[in-house]
């Protein structure tokens, strides 16, 4: 017997919620490559709106080339529909100013947060480790360029890699130079309420770089002593460099502003390697982390099936 108190709008809302719940049940009951044999059901769960993830996992524009469409606007909307509340773009500074503004406008409409963009990351030169007027001038100019990008995009974080170490200079002198150069850059960015995030990178993928470990990054940020100088903790890099992931997160917590993720070996989506991302994300959630977690990794399989696997992987590790 129909309930006369349920009006037409309520009925539509009820049906929509039922369809979404059914889609989640369908997704949870099988893997992407499962043997349901019905392609329509297989694709339906990626066309409906999903509940937001518990944390701000942030895909890049390249994550959903097949499911999201050719247009960057369609991809961004697809991310939002799938429950992502953030996005990151390492190459944001390379995009035309008008497109930067359009990205910010659409993200604001979708209620999405922009993760850190790459402001300076030259792996081939010595820069921050030097006490050099030319280096300081370059860094000042780069900060000014980053500020303009941040203003157009409402970005709060900008990523910096201190570059290569010097093989002829004592390590402590290089550390002191890095601190002084970061202090100068942070003072510039603080005036605009922008946070620089320094990223330690593993020496196996990127040999010769100065910054490699979380304790090292932590001690530098403490020495800089500016709220505009923090750490971006790349879990992929730190698993390779030193492991001890959760204890290092806890010890460095006051200086961490953002995260990058990728599993190892392979640097693909969570669940493809040795890192227990469900436990790590649960730990961040319990610490009330509200920042962005950039999905800076590849996809283990190609084509639309790989992108569906990517989505299911994040639903799996977000299930805590």
Residue 43 lies in a domain: no
Say if 44 falls within a structural domain.
no
pLDDT value of residue 202: 98
The CATH number that applies at residue 111 is: 3.20.20.150
This prediction's pTM: 0.85
What does the pLDDT read at residue 150? 98
> 34 or 75: which carries more pLDDT confidence?
75
* 178 φ/ψ sector (left φ>0, alpha ψ -120 to 50, else beta): alpha
212-224: per-residue pLDDT in tens? 999 999 999 999 9
The pLDDT assigned to 313 comes to 98
Number of domains in the chain: 1
**For all residues of the chain together, what is the average pLDDT?**
89
Give me the pLDDT at residue 47, please: 56
Summarize the confidence of residues 235-259 as an average pLDDT: 98
Percentage of the residues of the chain whose pLDDT score is greater than 70:
85
Q: Where are the beta strands (DSSP E) in the chain?
A: 56-58, 86-87, 113-114, 117-120, 157-160, 195-198, 229-234, 256-260, 292-294
Model confidence at 11: pLDDT above 80 = no
Q: Is residue 200 part of a domain?
A: yes
Nearest-angstrom CA–CA distance, 13 and 262: 37
pLDDT band at 16 (very low <50, low <70, confident <90, very high): very low
What's the rounded Cα separation, in Å, for the pair 196 and 189?
Answer: 7
7 belongs to a structural domain: no
Query: Does residue 164 lie within any of the structural domains?
Result: yes
Among 282, 284, 285, 266, which residue's Cα sits nearest to residue 274?
266
Are 143 and 102 in contact by the 8 Å Cβ rule? The answer is no
Q: Which of 28-32, 64-68, 72-76, 192-196 bottoms out in mean pLDDT, i.e. has the lowest?
A: 28-32
Residue 12 in any domain: the answer is: no
| Cα separation of the two ends of the chain | 39
Q: Is residue 256 part of a domain?
A: yes
Number of Cβ atoms within 10 Å of the Cβ of 156: 18
The domain in which residue 199 lies consists of 51-317
> How does pLDDT run across 100-149, given as a tens digit for each residue?
999 999 999 999 999 999 999 999 999 999 999 999 999 999 999 999 99
Q: Does residue 252 sit within a domain?
A: yes
pLDDT band at 49 (very low <50, low <70, confident <90, very high): confident
3-state secondary structure of 243: coil
């Amino acid at each position: 017997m129909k309930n006369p108190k349920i009006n037409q709008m309520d009925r539509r809302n009820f049906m929509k919620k039922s369809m979404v719940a059914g889609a989640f049940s369908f997704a949870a009951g099988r893997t992407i490559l499962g043997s349901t044999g019905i392609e329509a059901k297989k694709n339906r769960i990626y066309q409906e709106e999903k509940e937001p993830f518990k944390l701000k996992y942030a895909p890049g524009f390249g994550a959903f080339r097949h499911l999201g469409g050719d247009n960057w606007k369609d991809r961004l909307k697809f991310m939002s529909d799938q429950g992502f509340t953030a996005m990151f773009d390492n190459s944001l500074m390379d995009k035309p100013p008008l497109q930067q503004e359009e990205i910010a406008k659409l993200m604001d409409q979708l209620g999405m947060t922009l993760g850190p963009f790459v402001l300076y990351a030259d792996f081939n030169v010595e820069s921050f480790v030097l006490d050099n007027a030319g280096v300081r001038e370059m860094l000042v100019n780069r900060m000014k360029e980053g500020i303009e990008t941040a203003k157009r995009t409402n970005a709060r974080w900008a990523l910096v890699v201190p570059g290569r170490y010097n093989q002829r200079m004592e390590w402590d002198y290089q550390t002191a130079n890095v601190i002084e150069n970061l202090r100068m850059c942070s003072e510039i960015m603080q005036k605009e309420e922008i946070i620089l995030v320094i990223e330690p990178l593993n020496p196996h993928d990127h040999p010769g770089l100065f910054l490699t470990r979380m304790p090292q990054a932590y001690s530098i940020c403490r020495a800089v002593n500016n709220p505009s100088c923090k750490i971006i903790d790349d879990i992929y890099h730190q698993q390779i460099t030193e492991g001890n992931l959760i204890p290092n997160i806890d010890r460095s917590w006051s200086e961490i502003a953002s995260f990058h993720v990728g599993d190892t070996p392979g640097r693909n989506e969570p669940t493809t390697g040795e890192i227990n991302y469900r436990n790590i994300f649960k730990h961040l959630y319990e610490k009330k982390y509200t920042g962005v977690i950039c999905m800076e990794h590849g996809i283990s399989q190609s084509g639309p099936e790989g992108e569906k696997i990517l989505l299911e992987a994040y639903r799996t590790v977000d299930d805590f």
